Amino acid sequence: MAILQNTDLRILVVDDQESVRSHLSHELLRMGVEQVLEAASAEEALAAFEQHQPDLVLLDILMPGNNGYWIAERIRDLEDGRWTPIIFLTGMDRDEDLWEGIRTGGDDYLIKPVRATVLAAKIRAMQRLLAMQRRLVAVTEELYEANRQLNSLIERDALTGLVNRRGFDRVLHEQIRLARRESTPLTLMMCDIDFFKQYNDNLGHPEGDKCLKAVANMLARTCQRPGDLACRVGGEEFALILPNTPRSGAMMFARALTELLASGKLPHPASPVSPYVTVSGGITTCVPDESTTSMGMVTRADEALYAAKALGRNHFFSYELQVTAKDHLVAQR
């Protein structure tokens, strides 16, 4: 009859004496343990631990070669965040032996010869600890997911569904760090809807909201790669973070965005530059180094945006190339 009920435990028994391993394996299976693994050396023990990831380890201290203390330390190195109870098997009961066992990663110990009732009691105690640890891990994962969803809501613009200014600041900082580490180009675009105040004054704020959502949708559609991100960072101001995008790629992206907006033909009766909604944008591209900051990139993109507006709007202007996307295409031909 099984002593341990409702258990799916996998236990690793490490002892150089085959008779001890066989006796413990027999007792464990009789108690109701689902699977017992055996190892006669440190090498076998570590290999079995890595391959099978047991729920509990019964570990002899006096082993030929590397002893049980050494094995316990290696097991702790292999756990990678999880916890596996280790119960030492020993014929020594001195205080200093107990201290060394705890120091090297052990959780409890049994004096040989091991009695079945004591062994069962120790395993039940470890089961309770394992259950608490697993519940703690589950709660931690639940909290992490809840926090991730909360951050997603906090960083989402309610009107357009794009990432808001809070999310933009975080992602830009992360992308600068990533591009610096990988030595890849990073492009930032800051965009404004041209003459948006006049749009609201002429058509009303409800129509203005529709316009913002339509432009946001077009920006999101141009961000086809997984790393590209469209953000709403102000009233009618948007930003595009484009990882691994060189200057030439940024100019192609800007032209594609301009063409997409033109094809949308959103009416703008109050615009002096076009009968339809247009956007002006500033572009900055760099391979980030230690001096590169989020503020610096935003400042350069803003300066390029002002230049685009000074040129009559409906332009994307590159800070580094000092040319519009349209003129850049002409120069390439």
Q: What is the DSSP letter of 287?
A: -
Res. 332 pLDDT band, cuts 50 70 90: low
Looking at this protein, which amino acid is placed at residue 274? S
Of residues 319 and 144, more confidence is placed in 319
Domains and their CATH numbers in the chain? 10-138 (3.40.50.2300), 165-332 (3.30.70.270)
**Residue 137 reports pLDDT greater than 60:** yes
Res. 1 pLDDT band, cuts 50 70 90: very low
Would you tell me the crossing angle of helices 196-203 and 205-222 to the nearest 10 degrees? 140
pLDDT in tens, 186-216: 999 999 999 999 999 999 999 999 999 999 9
Q: What is the DSSP letter of 108?
A: E
Of residues 277 and 5, more confidence is placed in 277
**Residue 126 reports pLDDT greater than 90:** no
Average pLDDT of span 47-59: 92
Closest listed residue to residue 229, CA positions, set 291, 302, 305, 174: 174
Catalytic annotation, residues: 236
pLDDT in tens, 210-247: 999 999 999 998 888 889 999 999 999 999 999 999 99
Average pLDDT of span 292-313: 95
pLDDT given for residue 243 in this prediction: 96
* Beta carbons of 108 and 122 less than 8 angstroms apart: yes
Pairing of strands 237-243, 279-286: unpaired
Residue 95 buriedness (CB in 10 A; 0-12 / 13-18 / 19+): exposed
Query: Is the Cα torsion angle 163, 164, 165, 166 positive or negative in sign?
Result: negative
Average pLDDT of span 313-323: 93
Name which of 16-30, 114-128, 191-205, 306-320 the model is least confident about. Answer: 114-128
**Residue 80 reports pLDDT greater than 80:** no
Average pLDDT of span 315-328: 88
Residues with Cβ within 8 Å of residue 71, at least 6 apart in sequence: 14, 42, 45, 46, 59, 63
Average pLDDT of span 303-331: 89
Taking all residues of the chain, what is their mean pLDDT, rounded to a whole number?
A: 88
Average pLDDT of span 39-51: 94
pLDDT given for residue 209 in this prediction: 95
Residue 62 buriedness (CB in 10 A; 0-12 / 13-18 / 19+): middle
Average pLDDT of span 292-316: 95
Q: What share of the chain has pLDDT > 70, as a percent? A: 92
